Structure 1
Amino acid sequence: MLSNPPLFKYRRYWLAVIIVLLAILDPFGLASSSDKASAQWLNRMFASHYPSLGQQRVAVVLIDDAYLMRNDSSWPMPYGEQSKLFKRLLAYKPGAVFVDLLYSHDHSLGDPARGSQLLANVFERYQRQGIPLWLANTGLKRAEAGQANTLAPFMQVSRPALVVWEGVDDKYPLAKHTQAGLMETPALALYREFCATHECKPPPVDAQTAAQRQPIAVQWGLKLAPEQARIADIRHCAAARHFLLDGVAQLFQAVFWKLDDSAQARCPYTLTLSASDLEVTEPDDQALIAELLHDRLVLVGANIASTGDWVESPVHGQLPGVYLHAMALDNLINSGMNYDHEPANFPALPFNWLDLLELGLLALIAVLKALHARRLAGHRAWSRWRRQEIWFFTSPCPSWLLVMSMLAAVSVLLSLNDITPVNVLGIVLLSLVLFSERIEAFFDRDR
């Protein structure tokens, strides 16, 4: 045996190449699933510290089953019923409105009294009163190969906002190229309107510029709007826990995903009103609704048991899809174009520099592990600083603290530059390999 063998044998280098390829090619989605779990854990960790600026400007109005039963209505709602709802909303003078409903099929059954023009006339009132109105749009060309999109009467009295996209995983794009042309998403459209009347960080100059930007890695808030208790019963909503206790609990849930806390009701971060709240008749109640909705950016969505429009929030679990648009808008109001995002991939390659940074941290763990193995085998010091090397590698703790310090420093630098973090959970778990000899010795001590 050589008195001072190389740090790695050649076969280890081949193993390293295989590991790099596995990390980049992501077979079975293992790496991306781990990245997603880590990002969600960090989002839950800091959700209670999410800034509230956007929360003061955004509201959601939900059409729910209780509203349908209260009005003896059905789903999809007849145009006449929708006309009444949007008339009530108009009376409270919101700053802008996005309707997260697809008006792609005329369900008036040939009855002019129930026709789509009834609702289109109400939407036209929004235009006349200077209240911008966007309707959900699929970006498809209507009637081509059975494709559905907004009916013509509604297209004439509203603006389109794209709600269907692909290729960005769980991120939220600002704009996308579609069959119907370049189209912005609701969050950016409403943010532009916000910037027209409030001081803000400038949005992209046009949709083309917006489409070239990286999509938003949406960060979700936890604490309810202070006004929520004035409009709804929030006693069933889970209160925010202590930061450290919540972090430990969320860590165990991220690693052992079956240990979730789904029994706790996490109510949505965005101020939420039911469509039934717009029907109040008492002057005091009407004054409250006016206070909550006047000049706000209002998103109208549905929470109907038979619909499939749901999104997964790392903080709240499943929510009606309209909350994704509301939270993305909230991110823009808080951060402008400095929102959290992933770096773009290298040209013609399926990875980016953040992936290389993660591989660098893994390589550091591998080198430290190899140096520990040399120390345990009694080989000569690998570096010129023999005394320091012997001290450093006598215990795995200094090496582990070094990895954790570098991970923390990298995470802080990425956060300051609005870049999504590296796979914190994965690196923390893999760093435990530094303690493998001690773990084995613990379990073998009685043999």
Structure 2
Amino acid sequence: MKGIEDYARQLAQLILMCRRPRQLLHRVGVGFVRRWQLLLGYFASFRDERLKTVPGYLVAWATFSRMVVISVALIIPAWLLEVVDPFGLSGAVERHSQKIVQKIAAPFYPATAQSRIAVVLIDEGALAVRGESWPPRYLYYEEVVRRIAKQRPSAIFLDVLVEDRRSYDTSLPLAQKALEETLKETGVPLYLAVLDGGERNLFAKVPGTHLAMAGWSGHGADYPLLVDGPHRFGAMPSVSDNRCGTDSLPTAAFALYRQLCERGENKSCGEALAKIDIGAFCAPMVVQWGYNVAPQVRARDLLAASQCAPSEVSPGTRLFDSARILWSSLLASFDKESEAQGRQTCPYTLTVREEDLSSARVRGLLKDRVVLVGTSLAGIHDLVASPVHGQLPGVYLHAMALDNLLTWDDHYFARAEGTPTLLVLGLLLAWVSAALIRANPARLDFLLHAFAAVLVLGVSAFFYLVLHRPPLDWLGLLLIFELARRILEASANRRQPSVN
């Protein structure tokens, strides 16, 4: 009842003030002036004279002794979380930190190689038009390859495992012979998806075909460019390292990238590949995803076919998209739908449905492109998680990894050892924090938080933008800093003598 009475009283006052507009304007003006003065006073507090003593405290011996205490409170928890990873919390926070950065940076992903890659999707609609069901006849695969090869692409990758011999399908010999003739006539190299050395692939012995690994194990969410024996699909590697064995086979993205380099169709190939030094490509790739849709989608009127709306690529629009994605990430815990609203609804790579290959809209579109053929079928759970798009057919992971290679060559994004960086970052953070605490200026808490945020986010941005490394676990580091700060503050309060 008291809440209702207070609400009624405030409503009555508002009605009374509305009847006296002059008094209402006066109160509004007084309130505005008071808040403006408070704001000015807040900013003026940062001109505290004690801030000038911080440089002196930085070199004081007492500061270094306090720095040791803060370093222990910061570095030991961070090291334990990285090494022990209790309940998987540290790994989950780190992945989420990197996911947020990838989503925010996606609108600014360079479209250097977007015009050189395309995806052809086989879905239920395409099979129905051709009178096929899954799995289709062997001859169906040859027909798809032939329709693509007629447009003279740079290369074709068939991201379908053709390994099962079906006694009721007698079209295999005819399909193999027709595929050989198609590849010989067009000269287009065809790469076949395999999970082993290719012994089980039914088209592996057809002249003009090559093998590319489409599955692996032991690399988590990263995309390896070379897969050795212990990391083959289904294997149980003891450790996940970056060493390339003598039996390493290229994955789809690296095989296609190397094909373009060897044929001289990619002028920016890295020096390491030109010297046949594949050691520079041993580290698994952390795939970066693009956001903006290919301009050919609108130019070729492919909106209905790809079921998406193209994005504008002006700097203002990209900045707006990035800010919108950041805002949706901030509200993810309050609104479960906000994160979904920040996703891109269509893939970055130009997509053509298989049934549209013979249409006028697609004619000539695949020329000089690398074409990756994949499936989008309800019963085939070949899906990957994109931080920008959510769930996508697995063929898009190969396409995006190839796009990364064509964009950055051997300077693609890869992980680096983070322990030395965390040690240096922790010592620097503890050093400046100790000097600020000893100076004890006004707004100390704000200054500590601001310095920690600027330092951690700045180092993460340097890693991401300059070194092409995944950002630091900035969420976890800021949480650890806040925890250490509160522990030290509570300890200092307990040491203060009580006043009776």
TM interval, shorter chain, is: 0.7 to 0.9
Deviations 1:255-297 (CA, angstroms, capped at 9, x unpaired) = 67945533666100000000011133xxxx1xx4233101111
Structure 1 counterpart of 2:87 = 28
Which of 1 and 2 has greater Rg?
2
Relative to structure 1, is the Cα distance of residues 425 and 266 closer, same or farther in structure 2, using a 3 angstrom cutoff?
farther
Deviation of 1:17 (Å): 4.0
Structure 1 counterpart of 2:422 = 358
Kindly indicate whether the alpha-carbon contact (under 8 Å) linking 2:122 and 2:353 is maintained by their aligned counterparts in 1: yes
Structure 2 counterpart of 1:232 = 303
Deviations 1:355-377 (CA, angstroms, capped at 9, x unpaired) = 342355456666777778xx6xx
Structure 2 counterpart of 1:136 = 193
Residue 216 of structure 2 is aligned with which of 145, 153, 165?
A: 165
The answer to whether the aligner puts 1:419 opposite 2:483 as a matched pair is no
Letter in 1 for 2:278: T
| 3-state SS, counterpart of residue 62 of structure 1 | strand
The alignment's TM-score, normalised by the length of structure 2, stands at 0.70
Residue 265 of structure 2 is aligned with which of 197, 219, 222?
A: 197
Relative to structure 1, is the Cα distance of residues 44 and 14 closer, same or farther in structure 2, using a 3 angstrom cutoff?
closer
| 3-state SS, counterpart of residue 372 of structure 2 | strand
Letter in 2 for 1:189: A
Residue 96 of structure 2 is aligned with which of 37, 43, 46?
A: 37
Aligned equivalents of 1:368, 1:252: Cα separation in 2: 32
Kindly indicate whether the alpha-carbon contact (under 8 Å) linking 2:281 and 2:410 is maintained by their aligned counterparts in 1: no
| 3-state SS, counterpart of residue 103 of structure 1 | coil
Deviation of 1:428 (Å): 3.7
**Correspondence list, 1:204-243, <5 A:** 204=273, 209-210=278-279, 213-229=282-298, 230=300, 231-233=302-304, 236-237=308-309, 241-243=320-322
**Correspondence list, 1:351-390, <5 A:** 352=417, 354-358=418-422, 360-362=424-426, 381=438, 389-390=439-440
Aligned equivalents of 2:330, 2:426: Cα separation in 1: 20
Structure 2 counterpart of 1:401 = 450
RMSD of aligned C-alpha atoms?
3.4
Equivalent pairs, count = 397
Aligned equivalents of 2:426, 2:353: Cα separation in 1: 49
Where is the helix percentage greater, Structure 1 or Structure 2? 2
Deviations 1:18-61 (CA, angstroms, capped at 9, x unpaired) = 65233212232221211111111111101111111111100000
| 3-state SS, counterpart of residue 216 of structure 1 | coil
Deviation of 1:337 (Å): 0.8
Unaligned segments of structure 1, at least 5 residues? 143-148, 344-351, 376-380, 382-388, 441-447
Deviations 1:292-342 (CA, angstroms, capped at 9, x unpaired) = 101111000001110011100000000000000000000111111111111
Aligned equivalents of 2:68, 2:98: Cα separation in 1: 35
Relative to structure 1, is the Cα distance of residues 289 and 262 closer, same or farther in structure 2, using a 3 angstrom cutoff?
same
Aligned equivalents of 2:70, 2:280: Cα separation in 1: 45
Relative to structure 1, is the Cα distance of residues 319 and 206 closer, same or farther in structure 2, using a 3 angstrom cutoff?
farther
Structure 2 counterpart of 1:274 = 353
Unaligned segments of structure 2, at least 5 residues? 1-61, 233-246, 312-317, 491-500
Kindly indicate whether the alpha-carbon contact (under 8 Å) linking 1:127 and 1:133 is maintained by their aligned counterparts in 2: no
The answer to whether the aligner puts 1:86 opposite 2:154 as a matched pair is no
